[in-house]
Chain A
Amino acid sequence: MRRLSHLLVGLFAAAALLLSADDAAERMKKLEKLIDPDTAEVLKRINAVDAYTVPDLKLKREENFAKTASDIEPYSGVKPYKEHFLIPIEYAGPGRALPEPGAELKTVKIGFIGPIQNLPSVATGGMGHEASLGRMMLKGAQMAIDETNEGGGYLRRGIPFELKVVNDNGLWGSSGNEITNMAYKDPVWAILGTIDGANSHIAIRVALKAEMLMMNSGDTDPTFTETNIPWTARCIGDDRQMGYLMADYLFRKMGYKRVALIRSSNRFGRFGIREVRDTARRLGRPVLIEMAYKVGAEDLSMQVERLQATNPDAVVHWGDARESAVVLNTMRKLGMKQPYFTNDRTVSEEFTKLAGENAEGVISAYPWDPSRKDPKLDAFRERFRKKFGEEPETYAAHGYDGMNMLIWATQVGGLNKAKIRDLIAYRTKPWPGVTGDIPLSSTLDDLGEVFLAKFENGKWGFHSREEWQIPSGYIPPRSRVARGLESAASEPPK
């Protein structure tokens, strides 16, 4: 009997070992599939350096900042002394040589910071108002983590990923405190977040000092990546790209000459509308007026009356969905029939519910095309609906993509913050996300295609530049310092 029990134990142990070996082999196969030849080369080079050497990696060199047409460049009549952001900032520190943690590690923690609870916030200028967006972003991120864990977790060790979730929308710039906690108290390997521009800027400065990659999937503030911080990346089209497309539609396609602006008085509105305003001026059609309102205001009649007094051809709004509806409804109530243009946050149920019939014909800038025919997107939608019982919107989809990018970089680079950064920074191919291809620029910003959404017959339709034949200005293939004073009127160099 005793012999038999020993035999059984031995058999179980052998079976467990075999299963474990099979499991490890299976995981390694999965890991290999994540590494294409370009990635393998990056990996080889970053793994070869010690604490003192900066790896010899080919830096992306761009000849044009953010695909900006020459006639809308700032000070386009002057050759600037220096042009930034054409070459990525390297990380030159010793982080790549840090040893990985030992076998005691039970989970691989990835941070999530976002507005998941509305609290009073100095940084955002009053009561937080983005929790509904943040909670969707969290669902997308959580789904990416859960799916990865179902597929074997962190493949090198067979341990699960864990999402460490914190709220960013607290008092007195608490997002900074939360990131330092994730650096020193309860360390994570990389962070996804956040939505509000002010909080994002606070967070990335901490990420820079603490040397952790911060992937952003919800803040469209153009200046977020225009900071020369080697530790930030973004996987959503920003307000610069959306502003360029909107302005091209307004001025180059429709030929509007008299445009009025209205925006929220926070950072989101101030920086979001900037490209539309500046482009208007640079194309010789300066906006008639730019009105600002306090976030949360119920009555915007004073601001809208001022717009009306300028007799504009069109009105452009930048702010949240609720205020977008308030502006539009006030316009229509005052008899203003001008076309209404607005930003991506308007594409929501909240807006269409509040705006009712007025929503018909509204055009919004949008960072992706959710109507795209893509089996990957359809499958994501189905899984999301099954898991959460609701439709994934833009924050959920981008949160899912951003978290998957971080997970991929962690799987491939290993448990090393600098290598996780390198994998994202030196990725040669666009990330094939559910939101579309995500090509990163030299500032690690998403330079993928953006769209215009039009509300017609009770639903949003999404339209590309090509589909609507929206012209662009001439985008020179050389940097401003290297070329002459070329303008849109000039012939492109032969």
Chain B
Amino acid sequence: MMRTRTFLTKFAALAPLLAAMLLGTCWAQAQATKKLPYIYTKWKNFSVADGLPSDHIFSVKADGDRVWIGTEGGLAMYNKTTGKMKSWTTKDGLPWPAITGIDIDKTTGDVWLALFGGGIARFSGGRFDHYHQMNSGLVNDVVYGIAVEHDNIWAATTAGSSRFNKVSGEWTIFTEKNAPMEEIWNYNVSYNGKGTVYLAVWGSGVLEYKIADGSWKEYLDPDGEMEIDLYRDDGLVHVITTAVAPAGEGFFVSTYFGASRYDGRHWRGYYNMDSGTPSDFMNSVKARSTDEAWFSTDKGLGVLTDFDSNTWITYRMDPKTHHGKATVYKDREVLEEVETETGIPHNYIIYTELDGNDVWIGTAKGLAWGKGGDYYPRLRERGAVSGNLAAAPTVVAKGGK
């Protein structure tokens, strides 16, 4: 009797441990077979201490070994091979401190800069050439975005878009007079490399410009109302757009009201309430493919990693520990949470640049370089994430929100 009691007592004491081991085995098996996205766990952060002219990052452009960084206080260039940072401010001839957009002319290597209040500039051979309202055909000096398309430089300004042909020197202005702009407040411009330029126009949705025939097509929110989105997938979620990222035959769009994906025929809307985006307030978007888009929001980075399954990763920085935290969502269900020693330097994300397998994240307080050496697209069967982890990966309860 006594022995039975002792056995029962010992069993009772060991039961939780056995249960945990059993659950752990089940979890490990589940993890081993689950299809999950690639998570960036290796991050390097940069700030003024590393040579940036300002921690407030507006734009980033990768160009081979060089990464150009536009900040609120000047321009910087980081060399990935040497690990050295160089910077230019107005004292070095930069015409204006705040740089909201950067693009590279691949034919010359020139760096084109969108200056927030100062027009545009070409950085070539160590010299800045300045184009503004008073010396060129630039329609306004408040420039939000810039894109190189063949011999043309497109500038998205607060009072229309300007196109500068660097060979002929000709300027063309696009406003409501010659383009279907309900409003002229251009917010971004991008070129898809296949003959189409996209303008994100605040209050006028997305404008598509076909280079071949100079034709325009507009994409608006079909319900036409500011305070509602009537149907999720009927078109753009809102006309106040912030950026367009070309992908396949269509594009992704970021707005301050959510996001949209268009594949050339069908639309899909995304909100915080139905996806893994950490916020509906989106400053910009970049796309790797029709399956993968990176949304820079005010409350973290939202990455759609697989369109078909609506799988997302949210990257955030824990304000208390300053560790990184990646959360994998399918719709709003949390599949996985991974904590990393380092992550993004701030949750207010302004810009993302995709650099091969790597990513660059510009935030309101610092820049992050996410190294994706073993990156894979979409989903794969994998176990726990390895890498630069501060702690073992944790899987939270299924259905957690």
Contacts and interface: CB of A to CB of B under 8 A. Distances in A.
A206 B299 CA distance: 21
Interface stretch (A146-154, A175-183, A297-305, A320-328): A175-183
Interface string A180-191: 110110000000
Nearest to A183: B117
Contact of A94 (B175, B231, B346): B346
Given A93-B364, A123-B159, A173-B158, A75 B116 contact: no
Given A50-B319, A176-B159, A205 B202 contact: yes
B70 interface: no
Interface residues of A, number: 47
B332 to A, nearest CB: 14
A227 B133 CA distance: 27
B142 interface: yes
B257 A205 contact: no
Interface string A189-207: 0000000001001100110
A253 to B, nearest CB: 26
Given A172-B159, A177-B141, A81 B231 contact: yes
B183 interface: yes
B97 to A, nearest CB: 6
Q: Choose among A180, A210, A226 the residue with the greatest number of B CB atoms under 10 Å from its CB.
A: A180
Contacts of A78: 230
A114 B116 CA distance: 21
Interface stretch (B102-110, B219-227, B286-294): B219-227
A173 B159 contact: yes
Nearest to A123: B159
Contacts of A176: 117, 140-142, 158-159
B271 interface: yes
A172 B140 contact: yes
B325 interface: no
A94 B348 contact: yes
A51 to B, nearest CB: 6
Report which residue of B159, B185, B187, B279 has the largest number of chain A beta carbons within 10 angstroms of its beta carbon: B159
A416 to B, nearest CB: 15
Size class of the B contact interface (CB-based, 8 Å): 35 or more
Interface stretch (A1-9, A84-92, A371-379, A402-410): A84-92
Given A74-B223, A177-B142, A209 B116 contact: yes
A227 B281 CA distance: 11
Given A52-B347, A94-B364, A75 B225 contact: yes
B227 A202 contact: no
A84 B348 CA distance: 21
Contacts of B257: 82, 84, 228
Interface in B225-256: 225-232, 237-238, 240, 256
Nearest to B55: A94
Interface in A126-173: 172-173
B71 to A, nearest CB: 12
Interface in A82-136: 82-85, 89-95, 122-123
Interface in B350-400: 364-365
Listed residue (B140, B227, B230, B364) with the most chain A CB atoms within 10 angstroms of its CB? B227
A228 B282 CA distance: 11
A47 interface: no
B117 A181 contact: yes
Contacts of A480: 228
B139 A75 contact: no
Contacts of B53: none
Nearest to B183: A201
Contacts of A52: 317, 319, 322, 346-347, 365
Contact of A81 (B157, B158, B232, B322): B232
A83 B227 CA distance: 6
B324 interface: no
B139 A172 contact: yes
A65 B256 contact: no
Nearest to A75: B230
B269 interface: yes
A80 B187 contact: no
A209 B100 contact: yes
A188 to B, nearest CB: 14
Nearest to B317: A52
B205 interface: no
A310 interface: no
A177 B133 CA distance: 10
B183 A89 contact: no
Nearest to A227: B240
A206 B142 contact: yes
A295 interface: no
Interface in A32-74: 50-54, 65-66, 74
Interface in B271-313: 271, 273, 279-281, 298-299
B37 interface: no
A184 B229 contact: no
A75 B226 CA distance: 12
A80 B273 CA distance: 14
A333 to B, nearest CB: 34
A191 to B, nearest CB: 14
A5 B296 CA distance: 68
The 9 closest A-B pairs by CB, nearest first: A180-B117, A173-B159, A176-B142, A52-B319, A80-B228, A228-B256, A176-B158, A226-B226, A82-B229
Interface of B: 55, 58, 96-98, 100, 116-118, 133, 139-142, 144, 157-159, 175, 183-185, 187, 202-203, 223, 225-232, 237-238, 240, 256-258, 269, 271, 273, 279-281, 298-299, 317, 319, 322, 346-348, 364-365
Given A75-B228, A172-B139, A179-B117, 7 more contacts: A65-B227, A80-B228, A81-B232, A84-B226, A93-B364, A93-B365, A206-B142
14 contacts: A52-B322, A80-B223, A82-B229, A92-B299, A93-B346, A123-B159, A173-B158, A176-B141, A177-B141, A184-B98, A184-B117, A202-B142, A206-B158, A227-B240
